[in-house]
């Protein structure tokens, strides 16, 4: 069977059986499509199933080196390798095309980076400016209320943009908690603080379009599902208006949620659950942020 046919079967498997999100299927599919295109050039012809089973570790390393030469960062290279491995696992389980050499390739070492949260005052200013009437962003009142509600979910509940935009009209109703479907299809329960509920209710009252219980909660100007790029552009505008600098991104609001909880005595395990992290080590990065801040204060005091 051709590699293209196997690739198509794998994408169907990801979407229908693994129930991966559309974004995940697209990202993994693009990675493996580039992989197969590279193998066709690298080996002098489009590979079939037998060729995929006979690949060596050097073939995969050559592919990763080519992607690195194109400017791909270490984190993106690691995701690319994860896509390739997932594809080969599928080939082994569904077609008996095992390849231990491919599975033995190590992922690129990741640089240690710390989350970059905003100060609490700056995070609150961002939310206020997003929904302010008569200043800040242009646009109808319902759009400003919508943008404020989305950003409030990122900072007040620690949601990712994709998670906030995946909420439905059923989430408008008053409730003490919110069920959020995160990465890997995992569902977590987060508290719906009064400020978040009020922001969502204000948007729902002003929205000119009906919000169906099984439809998207956040809608665009044309009544279609709101896209993540819109929220990113809103934050770009706000950070310029408020002089916050390039670190003020939508995801920085989620980082701020976790960091400010930790700084105020939040339990690390509880924060892990609220963020939907599969591993505690991911959440532990926020303790390093606190340590870095403490050392900066200490160094400043010694310099006086």
**Maximum distance among all Cα pairs of the chain, rounded to whole angstroms:** 72
User: Which tokens belong to 202?
Assistant: 């204000």
Whether residue 251 lies in the annotated active site: yes
Count of other CB atoms within 10 angstroms of residue 136: 19
Residue 286 annotated among the catalytic residues of the structure: yes
28 is catalytic: no
CA quadruple 68, 72, 73, 74: dihedral sign: negative
Tokens encoding 149: 């509600």
How far apart CA 162 and CA 140 sit, in angstroms, is 24
Residue 105, SS3 per DSSP: coil
Tell me which of 160, 202, 239, 255 is the catalytic residue. 160
Gap between the Cα atoms of 297 and 304, Å rounded: 11
> Active-site residue 277, yes or no?
yes
Which entry of 183, 247, 260, 285 is annotated as an active-site residue?
A: 183
In the set 85, 251, 260, 285, the catalytic residue is 251
Query: Exposure string (b/e) for 211-234, b if CB count within 10 Å is 16 or more?
Result: beeeebbbbeeeeeebeeebbeeb
Question: Quick check: is 229 catalytic?
Answer: no
User: E-strand spans in 157-301?
Assistant: 177-181, 187-191
- Annotated active-site residue 183? The verdict is yes
Q: Which residues are catalytic?
A: 160, 183, 251, 254, 277, 286
């Amino acid at each position: 069977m051709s590699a293209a046919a196997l690739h198509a079967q794998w994408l169907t498997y990801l979407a229908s059986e693994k129930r991966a999100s559309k974004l995940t299927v697209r990202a993994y599919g693009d990675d493996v499509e580039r992989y197969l295109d590279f193998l066709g050039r690298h080996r002098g012809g489009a590979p079939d199933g037998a060729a995929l089973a006979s690949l060596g570790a050097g073939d995969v390393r050559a592919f990763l080196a080519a992607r690195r030469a194109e400017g791909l960062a270490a984190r993106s290279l690691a995701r690319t390798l994860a896509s390739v491995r997932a594809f080969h696992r599928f080939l082994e389980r569904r077609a008996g095309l095992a390849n231990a050499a491919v599975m033995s390739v190590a992922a690129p070492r990741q640089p240690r980076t710390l989350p970059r949260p905003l100060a609490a005052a700056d995070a609150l200013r961002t939310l206020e400016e997003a929904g302010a009437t008569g200043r800040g962003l242009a646009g109808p009142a319902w759009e400003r209320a919508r943008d404020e509600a989305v950003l409030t979910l990122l900072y007040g509940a620690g949601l990712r943009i994709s998670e906030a935009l995946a909420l439905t009209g059923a989430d408008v109703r008053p409730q003490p908690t919110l069920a959020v479907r995160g990465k890997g299809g995992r569902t977590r329960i987060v508290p719906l603080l009064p400020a978040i509920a009020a922001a969502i209710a204000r948007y729902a009252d002003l929205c000119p379009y009906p919000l169906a219980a099984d439809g998207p909660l956040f809608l665009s100007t044309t009544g279609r599902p709101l896209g993540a790029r819109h929220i990113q552009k809103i934050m770009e505008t706000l950070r310029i208006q408020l002089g916050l600098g390039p670190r003020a991104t939508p995801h920085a609001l989620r980082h701020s949620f976790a960091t400010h909880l930790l700084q105020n005595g939040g339990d690390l395990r509880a924060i892990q659950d609220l963020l939907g992290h599969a591993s505690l080590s991911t959440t532990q990065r926020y303790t390093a942020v606190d340590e870095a801040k403490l050392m900066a204060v200490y160094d400043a005091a010694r310099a006086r």
